[in-house]
Amino acid sequence: MSDRSQIDTSPGALTRVPGFRAAGVSCGLKEESGQLDLALLACDRPAAAAAMFTTNAFKAAPVLYDMALLSRSHIDMHPQPIQAVVINAGVANACTGQGGLRDAERMARLTEAALSLPADSVLVMSTGVIGHRLPMDRVGAGIQAAARSLSPTGGADAARAIMTTDLVPKEAFLQLEIGGVPVSIGGIAKGSGMIHPDLAPVGAPHATMLSAITTDAAVSPAALDAALAAAVDASFNRVTVDGDTSTNDTVVLLASGAAGNPMIELGTRDYQNFEAALTGVCRSLAIAIARDGEGATHLVEIVVRGAASDAQAQRAAKTVATSPLVKTAIFGADPNWGRVLAAIGRSGVEVDPARVSLWLGDVQLVAGGEPLSFDAAAARAALKAPKVRFSADLGLGSGQATVWTCDLSYTYVEINAEYHT
């Protein structure tokens, strides 16, 4: 991947990838009239698809629909081409029984009809309040309106249409060269609350986290699946706002192959470059979710290194990141670092307290298990910065991980105490 490649977060990322069109329309699913609430993404040609889904046992109807559609490809080893993704906000279509499943399939069929696409070529996503059926008359009208509005510049509207309690849209775009051919990757995401993704591929054991990603790269099915799994593990699966894994979490990647690059195969340098670029896009979107957490006043980065393994480092970092005591201390700019060590200590990972060191930004608080005298004013200043960083070294091995979260404020409680009403 070229060193000149940089993540661009300006509007329209999804459709800056050649060959993709999108739209965002209002069809009355959100409480406030006129808000965009249905997004449609379409590819000019059949695309290879990879996806990751929530591991929550109460999977929403669109998750079950998409998993069933894509799992058929895995069973017969003939990848199912996907040409569109339809996403609604306002109603999650989760915990809605057989009726909800019919509604999810109906969304796909209506989209296929509106775009004159073959059966089983559309994926569905939903986000919003759990336990309510979709008003399919409104959804149907919205799909028709979105189909008429599809545009190569419609990515920004699509990003806004999938928002629920989000304050800002989340977009990322990157270009690289594969075999001397320019290749593009663009993505959108939404998420602000009920954010603690635990995403897995097909076949692996309220608000929500959704992401749609497009690329014009030619990628083999095995390489596409592997690249998305690696990218999600290093990004969306390392972000948390409140520790609650949604019923609807979904990440979909469509690869059209229109760039004309040499086919990207597993185990090649081209694959490594593509995976790194895809990870960069996903990480940018994941960090944007943490920064826009409900009621957040700080982006928080938790780094754990020196663990017995990467998995143990990630477990320790996530335990810190989901600790209400740590998150409220950050909100109050209180350098109560004992809460961080307490969280690591109860995380279940291997720890030798005599070897642990801890930093807040550049301020070292603990060395080899011993508390240090530190500049309290500098520590408070670090806690008042837009981005707060705690880093711990467990002194046991080479395992390391970074997790992103946010502080826990009064506003988070207000939003979620009144979310349904």
Question: In the prediction, which pLDDT does 3 show?
Answer: 38
Residue 264 in contact with residue 220, Cβ under 8 Å?
A: yes
Asked if residue 188 lies in contact with residue 160, where contact means CB atoms within 8 angstroms, the answer is no
For the chain, give every residue range classified as CATH 3.10.20.340.
299-417
Distance of CA 76 to the CA centre of its chain: 29
User: Which residues share a beta bridge with 173?
Assistant: 8, 186
Total-model pTM: 0.94
The token duo for 106 is 């109906």
- Written as tens digits, the pLDDT of the chain (421 aa) is 443 469 999 999 999 999 999 999 999 998 788 899 999 999 999 999 999 999 999 999 999 999 999 998 655 556 779 999 999 999 999 999 999 999 999 999 999 999 999 999 999 999 999 999 999 999 999 999 999 999 999 999 999 999 998 999 999 999 999 999 999 999 999 998 888 888 888 654 445 799 999 999 999 999 999 999 999 999 999 999 988 899 999 999 999 999 999 999 999 999 999 999 999 999 999 999 999 999 999 999 999 999 999 999 999 999 999 999 999 999 999 999 999 999 999 999 999 999 999 999 999 999 999 999 999 999 999 999 999 999 999 999 999 999 999 999 999 999 888 766 5
Q: Is the dihedral of CA 220, 247, 189, 405 positive or negative?
A: negative
- Helix, strand, coil fractions of the chain, as percent rounded to 5: 35, 25, 40
**pLDDT tens string 147-169:** 999 999 999 999 999 999 899 99
Pairing of strands 299-307, 82-91: unpaired
Active-site residue among 15, 208, 214, 402? 208
Q: How do residues 350-384 score in pLDDT, each as one tens digit?
A: 999 999 999 999 999 999 999 999 999 999 999 99
For 323, the token pair is 């600790």
Task: Report the 10 Å Cβ neighbour count for 410.
Answer: 10
Pairing assessment for the beta strands 250-255 and 210-215 based on DSSP bridges: parallel
Rounded Cα distance between 406 and 299, Å, is 5
Which residue is associated with the tokens 């109460």? 58
Q: Are 183 and 98 in contact (CB under 8 A)?
A: no
The CATH classification number of 13-291 equals 3.60.70.12
Tokens coding 174? 């990157």
First to last CA, the chain: 48
pLDDT given for residue 199 in this prediction: 83
Instruction: Convert 111-141 to b/e letters by CB count within 10 Å (16 or more is b).
Output: bbebbebeebbbbbbbbbbbebebbeebbbb
Question: Which amino acid is it at 102?
Answer: R
From 3.10.20.340, 3.50.50.60, 3.40.50.20, 3.30.1020.10, which CATH number describes the 299-417 domain? 3.10.20.340
Q: By CB neighbour count within 10 A (0-12 exposed, 13-18 middle, 19+ buried), where does 332 fall?
A: middle
Kindly report, as residue ranges, where domains of CATH 3.60.70.12 are found in the chain. Answer: 13-291
- DSSP 8-state class, residue 179: T
Give me the pLDDT at residue 331, please.
97
Whole-Å CA distances, 381 to 99, 300, 320, 333: 53, 14, 20, 8
| Residue 419: per-residue pLDDT | 65
Say how many C-beta atoms besides its own lie within 10 A of residue 354's C-beta.
Answer: 9
Q: Is the dihedral of CA 376, 380, 383, 385 positive or negative?
A: negative
As a residue count, the chain comes to: 421
Token readout for 163 is: 């928002």
Q: Say if residues 294 and 412 touch (Cβ distance below 8 Å).
A: yes
Whether 111 is catalytic is no
Q: What is the pLDDT at residue 73?
A: 65
